[in-house]
Each structure stands twice: as C-alpha cells, then as structure tokens.
Amino acid sequence: MATLSTDQVNKPVENITPESLPDATPDDLANALDKLVDKSASHPDVVSHIHAPFHALAGSSWVHQLIPGIDRLAVDYHCGNYVIARGQTAPFFESMPLFARVGMHLLFYGREEVKLLGYRKVNDLLHYQSVRQGTIYDDPRSVSSIPSFVHTYSIELQELLEPDVSKYRTFNEFFFRRLRPDVRPIFNPGDPSAVSSAADCRLTVYHSVDEAKEFWVKGQNFNIPNLLGLQTDELEFTAFSNASLAIFRLAPADYHRFHAPIDCIVEEKAHFPGNYYTVNPQAINEPGFDVLTANVRTVLYLKHLQTGLRVAFVAIGALLVGSIVWTGGKEPGTILKRGDELGYFAYGGSTIVVVFPAGLINFDSDLVTHSQKPIETLVKVGEAIGKTPAKE
C-alpha cells in the first residue's frame, strides 16, 4: 500500500460521495472497473491498472478517459485512510488503490437500483469482476505481475519461505505466499490466557457490538445474528449476545494467511454466499452499507481450550477476492495452538471478524484507545491483542 507520512498530506482526504465525480456516470465507473481488470490480464505493471495509487492518477491519461474528472479529484484530494503503527504516536496515510476507489463509488450510486452496462446491477458487476480477477491471477501468465507487485508494496522477500519469485507458478500462488516460521513469533506462547493477532492487518477492537457501531461499523443491519447467520432463538445467539469483536482488515500488500488467535479445537463451519463490496473503512463507516454482513463469508467455530467457550472466526471476502481457503481449520476436531494456520484468502483485500463471547478477552489498552478515536492499528500475526481474564 502506498503510504504518505503526516507531513506529506498537504491536501484534504476525500470523503467519497456520489458528488465526488459529478461528470462520471455509473456506466463510466462500471466500464472503468471492467477495463482495469482487463488490463490486469495483459499488462505486468500492477500500478498501470487495478493498483494505480490515487495520488499518481494525475499523470494517467487513459484513466482520465475512462473516468471523467478523476484527474481533478487526484490533484485536489488524497484518497485513502490514516492508520497507526503499534508503539507510534503519529499516524500515517495509506493511499487507496484505484480498484477500491472505483468499487466504492459504484456502491454510492445505489447498488440495487442502477443497472450498469445495459444488463448488470452493481452487485452482479462486482461479483463478476471479483471472480474474473481471481481467474486471471490463477493463470500461469500472471506471474509476470509478481515483480511489480513486490516493488509497489515493498514486500520483504527475505521473510518468505520461498523468496525466489520465479518459483511461483501463478500470481495468486505468490499472493497467498507462506512466511518463514521464525518471522512471526507468537507472543508469550506458554501463556494459555494470551490472545494473538490472527493476521497481518489493520485492527480495530470493541468490547461490544454497540461500541463497534458507535465508533466504526455503521451498517444499519450489523449485528451478531446477521454476521453469523443465526436465528435469535438459537443457543449460539445467546452465547454471543454480549460479544466482543476484533476486526482484522487485510490490505492487498499483506501476508494473506490467517491463524488461530487462541489455543482451540476446530468445530463446524457455515458458509454464506453474498456480495463482493470493498472492505475499505470508508465503506464500513457508511450507514447505508452493510459490508460485513452482506459480503460472502465463512464462519468457523473454535472451542477455546482454556475456558471451553466457543469463538466465532468469520472470514469475509471482498472486492476482487477470489476465494476463502481453509487449511488447518478445514477438519472438525483438529487441535490447534495459538498461531497455527487456519487458512488463507486468494487475491484481494479482505477482512476477518473474530467474535469473542462476553468475558473471554480484555483487549490491550492501546488497541482500545486507537479504536475509539477511531483509527486502525497495524499489527502482525502473533502479536498480543489481549488476554483472557483470570477467574475470580
């Protein structure tokens, strides 16, 4: 993700609305997304299409032709989000890639009401392009995009189990690359009360759903039953009625395998088909969009070995994400230690929501403080995010 320090951000951050691009029609945006995905199949430089950083669009004439007015927008605004690194006091700015900005603008134009390209609604279009992008990056020819992706996102190859990019057979195989076992140490591995980050991510944490809705998740239909696909008369609904939430957002640059945040036994899972909306904070923070509960997702239940309580691990797909794949979390009955791999996302940004039943976790104070500002905190797999309180 292209980053800018605080002192480099000398123009306002765009608050995306339908009026941001008054000269661009919904068909312009739909056609632009189609052409961006097209070009990803033929051009090896990822910044020339879907990963074009917003702050560099002023020099991209072909994008100007696709999206009238985007050059003016890029000159006048930054597009993206502030995040903060753990242990730091000053936030920094991450520029949003072009595909996320286009997908978000389509959402703001009325997802179900507006037909695009003569036959597709927004939901259908985003689903189609997401599946298509995954197919493109599963093609062996896609390996030509790996070097530019590494350069664009400053990926540290020395961390990888296979650092030679020529050994990967497809772009997607590189995207869900494995890390060396020693580069993501697990915090205090002998302490069964510790809870670790499930992913390399931008993290927000909340001790209740009401708190999450106050500061972060503004979707009108966001609640535990909708997230987990439960009926209000089910026992699981009661078990999670006062749940705490950890929301792990993975950007395209991140290591995309996810791991057990607790010592646990794998139980059953449930898959829910859905949409492929962007999981960028500006979409999650919008009251009219139920991103986390409307997107395609799989709920995996994990039995916490220390307390016997069930934790819900929700892997959520997003715009241009091809699939959710389970590895260590595939078979019920599997016993996993904190930090063991559960699965991975194929290409794209994505999100994990871990739902902890009441009393299972006290989140670390720095994460709570940042989340209430609200701002996301950069964390890595295995870092501490909280503890299970001792029984009185």
Both tokens of residue 152? 């664009």
- Scanning the chain, the segments in alpha helix (DSSP H) are 26-40, 61-66, 70-76, 98-108, 122-138, 146-152, 171-175, 209-215, 224-228, 235-239, 281-284, 291-294, 365-371
Instruction: Check 200, 263, 290, 364 and give the catalytic one.
Output: 200
Query: Rounded CA gap, 258 and 344, in Å?
Result: 6
Using an 8 Å Cβ cutoff, are 196 and 383 in contact?
Answer: yes
- Would you say how long the chain is, in residues? 392
User: 4 and 95 in contact (C-beta within 8 Å)?
Assistant: yes
341 CB-near residues (< 8 Å, 6+ apart): 257, 258, 259, 260, 327, 328
Distance between CA atoms of 177 and 161, rounded to whole angstroms?
A: 8
Amino acid at 359: G
215 contact partners, CB below 8 Å, separation of at least 6: 204, 206, 371, 372, 373, 374
Catalytic residue selected from 20, 60, 197, 350 = 350
Catalytic residue among 259, 304, 370, 371: 259
- Is 259 part of the annotated catalytic residue set? yes
Residue partners of 355: CB distance under 8 A and separation at least 6? 224, 227, 228, 240, 243, 244, 245, 311, 312, 313, 314
Give the active site residues.
200, 259, 350
